[in-house]
Structure 1
Amino acid sequence: MNQHVARRAGLAVALSLVAAAAGAQVGPGTQWTKDGYGYLQVRPDSVVQLDARQPTKVQTILSKKQLTPAGQAAPLKVRRVALSDDGHLILLNTNTKRVWRYDTRGDYWVYDTGTKKLTQLGRGRPESSLMFAKFSPDGRRVAYVSEHNLFVENLADNRITQLTSDGTDKLINGTFDWVYEEELDCRDGFRWSPDGQRLAYWQLDARKTPNYLMLNTTDKLYPYTVPVEYPVVGEDPSRCRVGVIAVGGGETTWMDVPGDAVQHYLPRMEWAGANELIVQQLNRRQNESKLLLCTAATGAVKPIYSETDKAWLDAKDGAVGWNWLEGGKSFVWSSEKDGWRHLYRVDRTGKEQLLTPGNYDVISLESIDEAGGQLYFLASPTNATQRYLYKVALKGGKAERVTPANLGGTNGYDISPNGKIALHTYSSASTFPVADVVSLPTHQRLHGGEVPAPAAKMKLPKTEFFQVKTVDGVTLDGWMVKPTNFDPAKKYPIVFMVYGEPASQTVTDRFGTGLNRLYQGSMADDGYIYASLENRGAPAPRGREFRKAIYHNIGALNIRDQAMGAKEVLK
């Protein structure tokens, strides 16, 4: 019994190390300083600014005293922080509550570094009801959503202007319903115009969608139902449209997007200039994508780019932001049209140029360094279980690997806006996670990279990676952990860890692969073989055909790949 407890404790340490490494990277929401060398970090009773080049250089931006509202004894528990463009105002998100999966509603406060004053926004609104508060470009106002309506608050006098008043649980302004959040990664549903005088926003009409009653059995002593506007298979989704409204209030100008607003999705929208929006539209089957330029003042729409696929097309990676080049004359777009996921430069007329030619997949666009004439992306052309940083010229051409050859495994990067440094994490199935800061493009370590003390005492599973070719001629990646003191002459029971659907991979060369969180003890010590195979349909960087072969074949092709792969393993 004590042995089992010790093993479980070891696994808990392992998982905490993974979390620590992920936290060290800060993530895509990193609040970098204007020069690109510093970033903000929320601590239990303070907000500090760190210098990515000098870990000992820590500047307290907000102290415990400054985070404590007048008349209260305890400081705010800050969940998120954002700076105004000039850095004089700090927006603080606190007291957050979950909406579906994420804690996207809560309270917001603004700290003025000039007056040393801490002010709560949305006075009079229900507690923890504000969502996605954002400074206007000039820092004079903050816009937010509360109870499915849009509001703008003037920071000089905290006067609140309600922009929409028709919002209900079923008519949703400035955020999204369950389908858009779960399937299209949409949450923040409004954008400031570049001049700060208008807001562009989504409106979803779910009034024709019946409630699906979910049972909550965990939050209270007695279970209760939670109504969700969920369209079951075959039913219509919510009607969606995009509009623009002045910050002083008035009528909304709705974009005249072609097609049935129920039978199409609008998963992405951003400002494309002083008086234009760019919108991505997907049809209901999600096999046709169109990019539309919309005139904000009139709602007039002009299609500029379209794409179709026999299986499906994804919404633009990243629900917020657009990858503009040349001051908005063109942008970077990803497509699988040639059989591989590649990056293209597309101008406002729809003319495209391939930037990353070759028989490999771009896993993700990491950063555009326009001043340096290059962009960074993750890829792994020769091993679908790993992740490396590459760079390519903005004019296109042969990609060059940036990650050093000795870092075989999974690498992650949070690249500074100046393109000169990155917060880097690294791990493999046989290597503990480490976090460091590196210079770019040389990948020289500036500091960090130490293995946490508890990690040095941990025993990792001996994970072996392999490939098998099935009777269907399909090559599958796999990993295996053999029993301790394995004897090839003996027979052992084998347990396969299977996922098999399009959302994630199971065969990855990173820390934690080969560990079974659901097993009490050590499978290897107890005489089991533990293994996993990556069937077609998994989002592995092995080309479009590998990923999309599962279209109309879920429950058939993936299961056959697993079964035929298992037969090869057992030979």
Structure 2
Amino acid sequence: MPIQLNDLMRGEFSASKSSIDWLDDGIEGHDGLYAERDDSGKVVVGDYSGVTTTKTRILVDVSDFEYTGEKHVIARAWPGKGLEKVLLMTDPKKNWRHSYYGAYWIYDVSSKTIEPLIPHIVTADVRLAAWSPAGGVVAFVLENNLYIRNVSQQTVSQITTDGDKNTFYGIPDWVYEEEVFSGNSALWWSANGQYLAFLRSNDSSVPEYSIPYFEQSPIENGSYPEMVDVKYPKAGYDNPVVELMFLDLASYEVFLPRIDDPRNLRDNDRLITEVVWAGEKVIVRQTNRESDLLKIVLVDPLNRNGSVVREEDVSGKDGGWFEVTHDTTYIPANESQGRPEDGYIDTVIIDGYNHLAYFSPLNASSPKQTLTSGSWEVVDGPSAVDLTTGTVYFLATRKDPTERHLYAVQLDGTNFRNISNTDEDGYYGVSFSTGAGYLLLSYNGPKVPYQTLLSLRTGTNVTIQDNAKLTAKLDKYKVPETLWEQIVIEDDVVVNTLEIRPQDFSPGRKYPVVFHIYGGPGSQTVDKRFTISFETHIASALDAIVVSVDGRGTGFMGRQFRAVVRDRLGYWEARDQILAAKQWSKRSYVDPSRIAIWGWSYGGYMTLKTLEQDGGKTFSYGMAVAPVTDWRFYDSIYTERYMHTPQQNADGYDGSAIKNVTALKEAKRFLLMHGTGDDNVHFQNTLALIDKLDLQQVENYDMYVFPDSDHSIYFHNANKIVYDRLDRWIELAFAGAYDGRID
């Protein structure tokens, strides 16, 4: 039977996957410890040190509890050092994409008692709480101020006092949460718990964007929507001023180190993108706001100073940029293992590709040892380092850009080898124990996923997820076939593509084609992960072909392939979709009159940009969800990384906007969808486009608006409606319902 949309939306075809929160309790030989919630919601700790003889014990023996007559359901749990106390979170309330509010509690394992994080006070407004690695102390953020809870002494100390809507301590503001940290935390404990580093963000000069909410919250004013003001710096406007501050836990003194940098970045031109404790010092990654100048700053909290130890400017080299990374790994000194001084592993550019290098000592301006090189890239590496054996583990595209395999190399650059099976196609993910002695290896495709737990020192392993039920279920469905290939589109430019064909594909028939696009800088849509997706449904149930093309600007094909799009987003990416579609239109099994393109977010932008550039010559239809339509409306950190500022690149911004709307009129029809509560790609984007369409009397489009939905479009059943309408709209388009229709 075909893969039906309702079954897909219910998760019928999702692969089961285990996740492990590895623990470090400081006890030698406990490298395999992990924490998880069992089927009943209780918090358990397991020990994988035997691999096949896993032992578990219950830490928190309840999934909910009552406090002063009110019931609270445990949403998340974090065991403290020694596993004597557990930090619990209840009553979560979503804020932005990664952040949330909640009530936090301390659970005592031996007495099985629970108390509020703030003694005797229950508040669900805590934005973040985090154990000290040394145990006994929790840092948390309430009303944008930083606090310290000493668990044994039952005391809470307020560290900062001026947190407000313009000043954030220990948590990111909107743009840093979305574009820099991809998370809700901006604080970092030293390993010994002596110091806490935390970010102070001053958003006083950042303009506010007001989002109206019509249905989500109770409205005090009766008939008026609730207005939420978000500090959101659009391209060219003031960024938050960020500074890395420190708390000395011995004296509870807060200080700001003095940084020795003759060419210091101005406040409005400085991004702090990564903070890593390296023993008693701190490595801080800074870039300018356009992300083409990198500074590595080494801070000494003891002496309260720091200096720039590495600097690189790529603006005059390949014209590219530095992406935000969070993978710098500290390598402590160990004389007996040939490491006389502290060091770290970082991602560096070698011959136009991202690779790993080992720097030692910490203030080294150049690598002590290059660990990888070649016309392929390390992905989010290193994944782990086994300090006992000196082994560096990492995922890379060495075999193929569409695959991910696990490799290893020694710190001295010798004994490069693969860990996953590179003889077969594979897209792997990894999760290492804290000492890198154990590995959860996740095979994510192209076949049905499975997971294996390995002891890297003994070689023993056990499969913990085989997804046999999913394999059996898929045998009952018409699962489309996916084909991967590289094609040359022009001037020896090679791009990766995939094609999803109906199961009963016949080369003698003429099929409609849907191009599925994201296309953002450094992204990847064409890979060999297993997925039963909306595109799979289109091929299976609508008897159509789905094509994805990773054109210029996308990731894992080298910096030259990416950097060509800089300062004129939309041009090369749209050109590559059109060139590829022209090739598909000539294939014997394709109906060239029924070629469509669809995408969400950057993919929505690419859908419109492709229709604009194509002018109806190749693509007849398009579906754009939550699209950017003018990069002057998007946030500064993301946009300026690829476009510089509007003040520097006015022509580029003008050309990258969806501007030539009369060209959209040449398509048979297109669809627009957007949520009014989108805090990421503001609804302003779609409204500005509609105004242009009205001025030019362009009417060959349909539109659907989702009240109060954010960028993911979920509020009040909206996500199901999005896909229902996409499904029905493209079905009608391929049936000819929009041919000749002008309104």
Which residue number in structure 2 is paired with residue 236 of structure 1? 238
For 2:418, which of 401, 420, 427 is the aligned residue?
A: 401
Which residue number in structure 2 is paired with residue 529 of structure 1? 545
CA deviation digits over 1:360-379, x for unaligned, max 9? 21112211011122111001
Matches within 5 A, 1:218-297: 219-220=216-217, 223-247=225-249, 252-257=254-259, 258-274=264-280, 276-297=281-302
CA deviation digits over 1:418-471, x for unaligned, max 9? 323211221324x22222322327875323342242441223321111111012
Helix, strand or coil at the partner of 1:384: coil
- Percentage of identical aligned residues: 26
CA deviation digits over 1:92-122, x for unaligned, max 9? 2222222311244312212223444322112
Which residue number in structure 2 is paired with residue 508 of structure 1? 527
Which residue number in structure 1 is paired with residue 516 of structure 2? 497
- Structure 1 residues 336 and 291, CA, compared in 2 at 3 Å: closer, same or farther? same
For 1:428, which of 421, 425, 445 is the aligned residue?
A: 445
- 8 Å contact from structure 1 (residues 468, 569) kept in 2: no
1-side partners of 2:120 and 2:268: how far apart? Answer: 35
Which residue number in structure 1 is paired with residue 347 of structure 2? 334
- 8 Å contact from structure 1 (residues 69, 118) kept in 2: no
- 8 Å contact from structure 1 (residues 494, 530) kept in 2: yes
- Structure 1 residues 126 and 553, CA, compared in 2 at 3 Å: closer, same or farther? farther
After superposition, the CA RMSD in angstroms is 2.7
- Structure 1 residues 204 and 16, CA, compared in 2 at 3 Å: closer, same or farther? farther
Which residue number in structure 2 is paired with residue 410 of structure 1? 427
CA deviation digits over 1:444-499, x for unaligned, max 9? 53233422424412233211111110123211111112244333233222111111
- 8 Å contact from structure 2 (residues 525, 550) kept in 1: yes
Which residue number in structure 2 is paired with residue 324 of structure 1? 331
CA deviation digits over 1:321-344, x for unaligned, max 9? 743342671000001242111011
Does residue 158 (structure 1) correspond to residue 154 (structure 2)? The answer is: yes
CA deviation digits over 1:47-94, x for unaligned, max 9? 1123432476432221128x63555575x4333322322222222222
- 8 Å contact from structure 2 (residues 445, 528) kept in 1: yes
2-side partners of 1:443 and 1:250: how far apart? Answer: 47
- Structure 1 residues 54 and 444, CA, compared in 2 at 3 Å: closer, same or farther? closer
- 8 Å contact from structure 2 (residues 350, 373) kept in 1: no
Q: Which amino acid letter does the alignment assign opposite residue 376 of structure 2? A: Y
Q: Which amino acid letter does the alignment assign opposite residue 37 of structure 2? A: V
Which segment is superposed worse, 76-85 or 227-236? 76-85
- Structure 1 residues 49 and 199, CA, compared in 2 at 3 Å: closer, same or farther? closer
Which residue number in structure 2 is paired with residue 558 of structure 1? 573
- 8 Å contact from structure 1 (residues 476, 565) kept in 2: no
Which residue number in structure 1 is paired with residue 307 of structure 2? 302
Shift of 1:297: 4.6
Which residue number in structure 1 is paired with residue 374 of structure 2? 358
Shift of 1:273: 3.5
2-side partners of 1:48 and 1:312: how far apart? Answer: 44
Which residue number in structure 2 is paired with residue 112 of structure 1? 108
1-side partners of 2:584 and 2:209: how far apart? Answer: 43
Does residue 50 (structure 1) correspond to residue 46 (structure 2)? The answer is: yes
CA deviation digits over 1:303-332, x for unaligned, max 9? 1112222321123325xx743342671000
Higher helix share: 2
- Structure 1 residues 209 and 427, CA, compared in 2 at 3 Å: closer, same or farther? closer
- 8 Å contact from structure 1 (residues 174, 201) kept in 2: yes
- Structure 1 residues 389 and 122, CA, compared in 2 at 3 Å: closer, same or farther? same
Residue correspondences, number:
553
Does residue 547 (structure 1) correspond to residue 562 (structure 2)? The answer is: yes
Rg comparison, structure with higher value? 2
Which residue number in structure 1 is paired with residue 184 of structure 2? 187
Shift of 1:36: 2.0
Which residue number in structure 1 is paired with residue 665 of structure 2? none
Q: Which amino acid letter does the alignment assign opposite residue 427 of structure 1? A: N
- 8 Å contact from structure 2 (residues 502, 543) kept in 1: yes
Shift of 1:412: 1.1
For 1:315, which of 314, 324, 327 is the aligned residue?
A: 324
Which residue number in structure 2 is paired with residue 37 of structure 1? 32
TM-score by length of 1: 0.89
- Structure 1 residues 317 and 45, CA, compared in 2 at 3 Å: closer, same or farther? closer
- Structure 1 residues 416 and 273, CA, compared in 2 at 3 Å: closer, same or farther? closer
Does residue 199 (structure 1) correspond to residue 196 (structure 2)? The answer is: yes
- Structure 1 residues 497 and 442, CA, compared in 2 at 3 Å: closer, same or farther? farther
Helix, strand or coil at the partner of 1:436: strand
Shift of 1:533: 0.8
Which segment is superposed worse, 126-135 or 471-480? 126-135
Does residue 25 (structure 1) correspond to residue 19 (structure 2)? The answer is: yes
2-side partners of 1:382 and 1:196: how far apart? Answer: 42
Shift of 1:144: 1.0
* Gapped regions of structure 1 (runs ≥ 5): none
Helix, strand or coil at the partner of 2:490: coil
- 8 Å contact from structure 1 (residues 334, 343) kept in 2: yes
Which segment is superposed worse, 322-331 or 462-471? 322-331
Helix, strand or coil at the partner of 2:163: coil
Q: Which amino acid letter does the alignment assign opposite residue 351 of structure 2? A: D
Helix, strand or coil at the partner of 2:65: coil
Shift of 1:217: 4.6
* Gapped regions of structure 2 (runs ≥ 5): 220-224, 335-340, 587-743
Q: Which amino acid letter does the alignment assign opposite residue 396 of structure 1? A: G
Matches within 5 A, 1:460-471: 460-471=479-490
- Structure 1 residues 54 and 96, CA, compared in 2 at 3 Å: closer, same or farther? farther
1-side partners of 2:430 and 2:583: how far apart? Answer: 37
Helix, strand or coil at the partner of 2:353: coil
- Structure 1 residues 487 and 86, CA, compared in 2 at 3 Å: closer, same or farther? closer
2-side partners of 1:237 and 1:177: how far apart? Answer: 11
Helix, strand or coil at the partner of 1:59: strand
2-side partners of 1:536 and 1:399: how far apart? Answer: 30
Matches within 5 A, 1:354-393: 354-364=370-380, 365-393=382-410
- Structure 1 residues 250 and 49, CA, compared in 2 at 3 Å: closer, same or farther? closer
Which residue number in structure 2 is paired with residue 90 of structure 1? 86
Shift of 1:556: 0.5
- Structure 1 residues 105 and 323, CA, compared in 2 at 3 Å: closer, same or farther? farther
2-side partners of 1:439 and 1:253: how far apart? Answer: 43
Helix, strand or coil at the partner of 1:546: helix
TM-score by length of 2: 0.69
- 8 Å contact from structure 2 (residues 99, 184) kept in 1: no
Which segment is superposed worse, 226-235 or 41-50? 41-50
1-side partners of 2:518 and 2:311: how far apart? Answer: 33
Shift of 1:197: 4.0
Helix, strand or coil at the partner of 1:408: coil
Shift of 1:220: 3.8
2-side partners of 1:202 and 1:86: how far apart? Answer: 28
Shift of 1:198: 3.6
2-side partners of 1:428 and 1:503: how far apart? Answer: 21
- Structure 1 residues 550 and 218, CA, compared in 2 at 3 Å: closer, same or farther? farther
1-side partners of 2:274 and 2:31: how far apart? Answer: 27
Q: Which amino acid letter does the alignment assign opposite residue 428 of structure 1? A: G
